[in-house]
Structure 1
Amino acid sequence: MTETAARGSDFAELARQINEAGLLRRRPGYYALRISANVVALGAGVAAFVMLGDSWWQLVTAAYVAIVLTQFAFIGHDAGHRQILGSRRGNDLIGHIHGALTGISYGWWVSKHNRHHANPNHEDADPDIDIPALAFSAEQAGSKRGVLRWIVKYQAFLFLPLLMTQAVMLRAGSINAMVRRELKSVAFEVALLTVHFAAYFTALFLVLSPGKAVLFIVVHQAVMGVYLGCSFAPNHKGMPIIAAGQKVDFLRKQVLTSRNISGGRWVDFLLGGLNHQIEHHLFPSMPRTNLRRAQPLVRAYCARHGIPYTQCSMRASYAWVLRHLHEVGGPLRRNERLVPLNEQA
């Protein structure tokens, strides 16, 4: 057997173990409880918004609703991976409802996220590392020009402010996909997001004075952006980048480019299960609540096959990300010329 064939069989053996352990079975009861809890939490936020009226305390409500809607976004993520129900239609229905509640196009996000899963940290194929205001490799840093080049120089210091725009950028990406008609059900998704934004802005400007309404929007979008960014950033940022043309088998591609976050079930809740990033990337349709049970199997399997398995604390993961961003921007701060690959002879 060739080395390539042997490596190709590595994942099949792990998948067999996971399947025999029953970890790929759907858990609709778990998701029914999670969705119900989210609905109750959102209802409490809406009730507080109505009762408080035109008050500065609404800025607390804005932050609270941002956190709750991020939990809704996690459910939309799971629906996009077919984790909740056995049928595609049922998962898509849940996903579209949650997309409408969060103001993010479900169809656009699923397409983007699937490309990320197929090629995590791949320079030419992963949309999650193709971010204009950030660079994750020397090649990307060298390609920046103008204001973006200045931002990349100090990107580690600007990372948190940039995260505050994440929720807005997701909505902008959704609208752009609709304008470009890149969605399968454009009219349906336009209708959903139109209802979302109409209800959102109408409620704010009916209940609050214009100044408070604007501040509510700023706080809501900034907190949601930071929460989303802090949930996704630790998973791959700072991990190995796969260069264009580099061939890596599925098991190693997913494990080597991903990082797990250690912690108890409170971390599972806080990060929507994304703290088990390695297991999630290997088995994206595995229900969130099963990922913790799959971890010891996957970690032991990687150890037997000599595959580095990365896990660290939440605090260490953020330090890792910031250190990597600072190092990538270093040559620009020192005025070294970085030549993008497409300009090299």
Structure 2
Amino acid sequence: MFTAHDAGHLAISSNFVVDTLIGMFVADFCCGLSIGWWKSSHNVHHLVTNQPEHDPDIQNVPLFATCPSFFKSLHSTYYNFTFVWDAVADFLVPYQRFTYYPVMGIARFNLYLLSWLHVLSEKSSSLGKSRAWWIRPTEITFMACYWFLFGYCLLWRGLPDWTTRVVFVLVSHIITMPLHIQITLSHWGMSTNDLGETESFAQRQLRTTMDVDCPAWLDFIHGGLQFQAVHHLFPRVPRHNLRKVQAMIREFCNDTGVPYSILNFTDGNKKVLGRLQDVSDQLDILVKCQKHMARTGESGLH
């Protein structure tokens, strides 16, 4: 999937058709995920990083809330859908620090759903009126091939019984958990405030994005995703140049005083878990206040 990410940003050949086909082969054919869905969502994420109303990457109610803005039933401009804060969110979010890793272990199943919803959507079908008309039918074909090979040939015909099939599916999907942690690590612990038009693009990206520090010999494990702050400033820089650009970003931040966030993988996880706990604590206070006012009849206004 690291290669699909590079292809989605045209960071391999810089040719739209070539990189799109590479992305389709890796994402759609090999993994059953729509590169078209990913590009649609990911491009918006790059434009409005960590803005609760706009960034689909942090719109995960009722499972997770990375800021209190979600408490007021926030409307998503990306999905054109209101994430209603209800009793389910009241029940799940207080435990989000503990459910974070288990959910990351099964997150792949949600990506399957989002991928099919995208390729069958009006947004995807509208490509038929453009020069990119070939993308949708190619994606559907590749994703269907994936499910034929994985679902029918391997699971149904290749494995002997349902117990083996279920265990194989769970193990093969849970093993992707480190990738999903890596994806969320760079943003979920960072600022979600909107500081308005006076904040520059570079300042906003560096405020909402964190790099993960690691030695150069470990770069292959992270697949370039450890340089998310650098990547958000220069999305089409090839992966093998990100470490070089990181040195330039450090120098820029030192010269300008713009904060640059970088933590190792362990401390980055602690930061995300700390943010999830902070939001849970704020929710707990609000719920206690609501119960107190309901019991006493107080309005909370003085």
Q: TM-score, normalised by structure 2?
A: 0.83
CA gap 1:247/1:167 in 2 versus in 1, 3 angstroms: farther
Instruction: Report the Cα offset of residue 173 of structure 1.
Output: 0.2
Residues 105, 244 of structure 1: alpha-carbon distance in 2 compared, 3 angstrom cutoff: farther
Amino acid at match of 2:70: Q
Question: Contact 2:51–2:192 at 8 Å: present in 1 too?
Answer: yes
2:64 aligned to which of 127, 134, 141:
134
CA apart distance, 1:287: 0.4
Please point out which of 76, 86, 107 is paired with 1:145.
86
Aligned residue runs from structure 1 range 1-345, under 5 A: 73-99=1-27, 100-132=29-61, 133-143=63-73, 144-183=85-124, 184=127, 185-202=135-152, 203-209=154-160, 210-224=162-176, 226-243=177-194, 247-334=198-285, 335-336=287-288
**CA distance 1:229–1:141, shift in 2 (3 Å):** farther
Q: Is the 8 A contact 1:123 1:244 kept in 2?
A: no
Shift of 1:162: 1.2
Distance 1:246 1:282 in 2: 17
Give the aligned residue type for 2:164.
Answer: K
Structure 1 residue aligned with 2:300: none
Where does residue 295 of structure 2 map in the other structure?
none
- Amino acid of the structure 2 residue aligned with 1:114: N
SS in 2 for 1:108: helix
| CA shift digits 1:286-334 (9 cap, x unpaired) | 0011001111111111111110001111100000000100010113334
- Residues 123 and 243, structure 1, Cα contact 8 Å, conserved in 2: no
CA contact (8 A) 2:3 2:23 kept: yes
The structural deviation recorded for 1:247 is 4.9
Which secondary structure state, in structure 2, belongs to the residue aligned with residue 296 of structure 1? Answer: helix
**Contact 1:103/1:193 (<8 A) preserved:** yes
Contact 2:36 2:119 in 1 (8 A): no
Q: Which has the higher contact order (CA 8 A, sep 6+)?
A: 1
- CA deviation digits over 1:143-187, x for unaligned, max 9? 321222211111001111111221111111001112323323332
Identical-pair percentage = 29
Amino acid aligned to 1:125? H
**C-alpha contact (below 8 Å) 2:186/2:209 kept by paired residues:** yes
1:125 offset after TM fit, Å?
1.4
CA–CA separation in structure 2 for the residues paired with 1:244 and 1:312 = 24
Q: Secondary structure at the match of 1:312?
A: strand
Contact 1:142 1:337 in 2 (8 A): no
The number of residue pairs the alignment matches comes to: 265
Amino acid at match of 1:140: F
**Paired residue secondary structure (1:85):** coil
Alpha carbons of structure 1 residues 149 and 244: separation in structure 2 relative to 1, 3 Å: farther
Equivalents in 1 of 2:218, 2:71: separation in Å? 33
CA distance in 1 between counterparts of 2:52 and 2:261 reads 21
TM-aligned CA deviation for residue 198 of structure 1: 1.0
Q: TM-score, normalised by structure 1?
A: 0.73
